[in-house]
Amino acid sequence: MARHFSFRDFDWVLLGFVLMIAALGVMEIYSATLNTKFAGVHVKQIYWVLAGLVVLFLVSLLDYHILLDKVHWLYLASVVSLVAVALFGRKYMGARRWIQLPGGQHFQPSECVKVVLILALARYFCELPSRHASVSDILKAGLIAGIPMLLVLNQPDLGTSLTYVPVVIMALILGGLRLKHAGVMLLAGALAMPMVWHFGLKPYQRERLISFRQPEADPQGSGYQVQQSLIAVGSGGIWGKGTAKGSQTQGLFLPVPHTDFIFAAFAEEHGFVGAAGVLLLYLLLLMRLIHNAQTAPDRAGAFVIMGVVAVLTFHVLVNIGMVVGYMPVTGIPLPLLSYGGSSVLFTFLALGIVMNIRMRRFVN
């Protein structure tokens, strides 16, 4: 299959949005870590972004069809690496999520698994003969996503395992989920809730959910983070307090202001204007991605791009939702803005695949 492929078709507009968000992220990481022991990590973040760009270009060179063809091997490798983490991973802050690489870096395989899952589900749904997904298709898709999900949940990393859910849902919607099946799934999900609450969640996770419901009930306890985040966002006002001038951020009242709560720090220092601007950038980024899905060369490509859209949207909604008190504290980073190598690399990896698909949109 000869394919046309050219850097003329590289999505510079998309890359522009991505780099703008990443630049704002680097700036806010600098400001938020100024008075902490993390001071200077914004330079590291720049390196991560540069590394991400390299990954993006490298991935865009490799035809995504090859990835789709070999996805079963990738999937197998993912499951093996997750099992390896469970067995040999480094324990840090009560969770076994990281593998120590030679050279002292830590690597979180669960981020990479997300990309593999997108590819696996895309391939699965593209090979379905019928326009509608049957019950067994749904169960099989659920199984594909379910195995890595349970492994990640076991780490325990509720946040990351939840990010697999939107990929499945997006695949099911695009793959032709019948309304009645959707209804049954919602109902089953609702019925399973109490079971999950009692047996599936650990006590600290339950506490987080309770404190999310009533952050004022225990302002000194687990609701503290949400409360401080709301104070940071709210006190930012329209124009914000200025870079490195947010009292919540600089006074260390805001928890982890350079990772999970970076949006709160940004909103405090740059106000509604800045925060709404970042939201707008994310909207433009997502719209651009969907536009690429619309012009994708084939069904599988569109599936993959929409999988990326699903994951990014989920990240943005859950993270910002958490910052503004709409969502429980789950530890899901904000793509491109939050500090963190795994998160940055995943995002650029996923965007690399999108570029890859876009550059092959003119199918012979």
Partner 1 sequence: MPRRDDKIPQAKLMAIQYAILALLLVLAFRLARLQIGGSERFETLAERNRVRTIPILAPRGKILDREGRVIVDNYPSFSVLLLRDQVKGRDIDVEQIAAGLNMTPAQIRERMKKFASGPAYQPIVLKDDITPDELAFVESHRNELPELETIMVHRRLYPRKGFTAHLIGYVGEVSEAMLDLPRYELYQPGDIVGKSGVEQAYNDFLMGKDGSRRSIVNSRGKEVGRLSETPAVPGKQLRLTIDLDLQIAAEEALETVGNNGAIVAMDPRNGEVLAMVSRPTFDPNSFAVRISREEWNRLVTDEGKPLLNKAIQAQLAPGSVFKILMAVAGLQEGIAQDMHVNCGGGKNFYGRFFKCWVLAERRTHGVVEIQKAIYQSCDSFFYTLAERLGIGRIAKYSTALGLGRKTGIDLPQEVSGVMPSEEWKVRNFKQKWYAGETISVGIGQGAVATTPIQLARALGGIAMGGMLRRPHVANPSDLPPEFRHVSADYADEVRVPLDPRNWETITNAMVEVVNPIGTAPSAHLKDIDFAGKTGSAQVISNIGKAKIGGGHRFKDNGWFVGFTPRRNPEIVVAVLLEQGEHGYMAGRVTAQVIKAHVEKQRKRGLKLAGTPPQTTEISALWNGPGSGQEADALHGGRFRIELTPHRRKRALAAPGLELTPAPIPDYSRAGGGR
147 binds partner 1 (CB under 8 A): no
313 binds partner 1 (CB under 8 A): yes
Binding mask 19-58 for partner 1 (x = CB under 8 A): ----------------x-----------------------
162 binds partner 1 (CB under 8 A): no
- Give me 135's structure tokens: 């019950």
Contact predicate 177/133, CB 8 Å:
yes
Stretch that binds partner 1, among 105-113, 146-154, 186-194, 317-325 (CB under 8 A): 317-325
Binding mask 51-90 for partner 1 (x = CB under 8 A): ----------------------------------------
Tell me how far apart the alpha carbons of residues 151 and 121 are, in angstroms, rounded to a whole number: 18
Binding mask 318-337 for partner 1 (x = CB under 8 A): --xx--xxx-----------
Q: Report DSSP letters for 25-48, one per residue.
A: HHHHHHHHHTTSTTTTHHHHHHHH
228 binds partner 1 (CB under 8 A): yes
Binding mask 193-222 for partner 1 (x = CB under 8 A): ---------------------------xxx
Tell me how far apart the alpha carbons of residues 143 and 179 are, in angstroms, rounded to a whole number: 20
Contact predicate 43/337, CB 8 Å:
no
Q: Report DSSP letters for 141-199, one per residue.
A: HHHHHHHHHHHHHTTT-HHHHHHHHHHHHHHHHHTT--HHHHHHHHHHHHHHHHHIIII
237 binds partner 1 (CB under 8 A): yes
**Which of 284-322 are b and which e, b meaning 16 or more Cβ less than 10 Å from the residue's Cβ?**
bbbebbeebbeebbbebbbbbbbbbbbbbbbbbebbbeb
354 binds partner 1 (CB under 8 A): no
Single residue of 126, 262, 308, 351 touching partner 1 by CB under 8 A: 126
Tell me how far apart the alpha carbons of residues 97 and 82 are, in angstroms, rounded to a whole number: 9
Tell me how far apart the alpha carbons of residues 218 and 345 are, in angstroms, rounded to a whole number: 37
247 binds partner 1 (CB under 8 A): yes
| Shortest CB 297 distance to partner 1, Å | 9
What is the H or E stretch that residue 96 is in?
A: strand 95-100
**Which residues sit at the interface with partner 1, rule CB under 8 A?**
35, 126-129, 173-174, 220-222, 224, 228, 230-238, 247-248, 250-253, 267, 271-272, 275-276, 279, 282-283, 286-287, 290, 293-294, 298-300, 302-303, 306, 309, 313, 316-317, 320-321, 324-326
